[in-house]
């Protein structure tokens, strides 16, 4: 079923994800919270997400039949396809980031309450300034294209792609895994992944049906369910 989006616009909020979680149980699927600025935007594991004016900071309330960690890919795919609409080649850095020209342009943070709702937070640097301490590692659509973008057009594209990928995901989650594989540069690259039990280095070989990353260390093949990947040069 196609989701109907209903957007709540805020000027400022601590985190659109926290706001969306606070209203999720009584809100219909497809409720979207968008804020001009976040004062405490969050990444994973308590990290902060810089959210000055001009970026797209949004959280979408979804109510899938089953919670599934692979849903995070739906957000990343929507961003990559939006970038493509504006002529920007982006790729998915498993599991939840989108990179352009070697720098991070977007991140996805899914949270939720099992079997009740999922809040999918998407942060995309559109026209915003990148804070000085992130300039080595982060970029924006404006920096890539050298011009300001029509913010509402970007928002509408993200939501259109999100609706499409969410529908495909509900029909068959493997649709999404296949698409992620086509849009990631990790496969066959040398990577180091920091995960909950430690660190592992090797060649990224595949993204498996369950969404995990398969790494070949030279001695064994290891499945990593979730982690932070860095790609080694070469």
Answer yes or no whether residue 38 interacts with ligand BTX by CB under 6 A: yes
Sheet holding 97-100, edge to edge: 6-13, 31-38, 56-62, 117-124, 103-113, 97-100, 91-93
Taking CB under 6 A as the criterion, which residues in 164-223 touch ligand BTX?
none
Among 29, 32, 79, 96, binds ligand BTX (CB under 6 A): 96
Minimum CB–partner distance for residue 219 and ligand BTX (Å): 29
Closest CA to 70 of 221, 179, 145, 202: 179
Answer yes or no whether residue 123 interacts with ligand BTX by CB under 6 A: yes
Closest CA to 140 of 231, 46, 54: 54
Among 10, 23, 134, 187, binds ligand BTX (CB under 6 A): 134
Taking CB under 6 A as the criterion, which residues in 41-70 touch ligand BTX?
41-44, 47, 49-51, 57-59
Under DSSP, is residue 21 helix (H, G, I), strand (E, B) or coil? helix
Answer yes or no whether residue 104 interacts with ligand BTX by CB under 6 A: yes
Residue found by looking up tokens 């039990």 in the block: 197
Closest CA to 34 of 147, 161, 150, 124: 124
Answer yes or no whether residue 17 interacts with ligand BTX by CB under 6 A: yes
User: Which residues of the shown chain bind ligand BTX in the complex (CB under 6 A)?
Assistant: 15-17, 38, 41-44, 47, 49-51, 57-59, 96-97, 104, 107-109, 121-123, 125, 134, 138
């Amino acid at each position: 079923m196609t989701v109907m989006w209903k957007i709540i616009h805020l000027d400022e909020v601590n985190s659109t994800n926290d706001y969306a979680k606070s209203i999720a149980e009584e809100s219909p699927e497809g409720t979207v919270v968008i804020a001009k600025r976040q004062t405490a935007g969050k990444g994973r594991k308590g990290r902060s997400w810089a959210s000055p004016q001009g970026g797209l900071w949004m959280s979408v309330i979804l109510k899938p039949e089953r919670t599934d960690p692979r849903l995070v890919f739906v957000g990343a795919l929507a961003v990559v396809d939006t970038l493509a609409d504006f002529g920007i080649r982006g790729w998915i850095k498993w599991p939840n980031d989108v990179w352009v020209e070697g720098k991070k342009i977007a991140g996805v943070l899914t949270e939720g309450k099992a079997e009740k709702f999922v809040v999918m937070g998407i942060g995309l640097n559109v026209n915003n300034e990148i804070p000085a301490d992130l300039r080595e590692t982060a970029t924006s659509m404006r920096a890539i294209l050298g011009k300001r973008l029509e913010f509402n057009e970007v928002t509408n594209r993200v939501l259109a792609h999100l609706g499409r990928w969410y529908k495909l995901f509900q029909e068959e989650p493997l649709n999404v895994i296949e698409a992620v594989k086509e849009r990631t540069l990790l496969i066959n690259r040398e990577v180091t992944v920091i995960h909950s039990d430690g660190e592992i280095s090797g060649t990224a070989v595949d993204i498996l049906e369950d969404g995990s990353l398969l790494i070949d260390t030279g001695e064994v093949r290891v499945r990593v369910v979730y982690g932070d990947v860095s790609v080694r040069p070469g």
